[in-house]
Amino acid sequence: MEKRGRGAKAPSMPAPQQPPVTPRKERRPSMFEKEAYAQILRERLRESIHDVQYVEPPFDDSIADLGKEWKSALAKLKFANSYRMEPLKKFQAHSVETKVQQILKESLQDVKYDDKVFSHLSLELADRILSSVKEFGYHRYKFIIKVLFIQKTGQAINIASRWIWDVAWDSWVSAKHETETYVVLVLVFALYCE
């Protein structure tokens, strides 16, 4: 029997088998290290390069001209920051209201109530009102146009809108056109975007 004490050795156990050593992979560089960002871009671009073998020319010149017009329409002008916190011209509700009222009178002069017609007419009115409001030239304003057709059948209606906006520069306008069979209510919201 073995004595265990201070100087005695513990019985030796067989050594556990270690897994075979595999070569270490190189660590991928971080994009925040110097020179590494360019290397990462080169690797990504190398993986995404595709060769174009053949491009068929357009059949006639008119199609080629359409492509040029389409590309020029997509090109955006880039402006330097102006750091402007207020509009060059403040939204004037009274002038917009008179213009919207005039459009309603012209468009709905002899129109009778019809569900199918009014669904298309509301979109046309909204587009026409939007284009006429943009003609006033309010710089950096975004407009929301809401057109409501309500049939008169002896009911009451309440319409409410809530917005978070800048009280100093944002505004809204309402215009109403009423006939014997229906009421049209147009709301124009003008929101200044800095």
The answer to whether 103 and 132 have CB atoms below 8 angstroms apart is yes
Q: pLDDT band at residue 124, thresholds of 50, 70 and 90?
A: very high
Cβ count near 37 (within 10 Å): 13
Domain made up of 91-153+165-190: CATH architecture: 2-Layer Sandwich (3.30)
Which tens digits make up the pLDDT trace of 176-189?
999 999 999 999 99
Q: Global pTM?
A: 0.58
Give the DSSP per-residue string, 91-105.
--HHHHHHHHHHHHH
Has residue 55 got a pLDDT over 50?
no
The answer to whether 192 and 162 have CB atoms below 8 angstroms apart is no
The pLDDT, as a whole number, for residue 193 is 87
In this structure, of 32-36, 93-97, 146-150, the range with the lowest mean pLDDT score is 32-36
Break the chain into its structural domains and give their ranges.
91-153+165-190
Structure tokens at 152: 């008169």
54-79 mean pLDDT: 57
The pLDDT, as a whole number, for residue 187 is 95
Give dist(CA 87, CA 190) in Å, integer: 12
Give dist(CA 108, CA 126) in Å, integer: 13
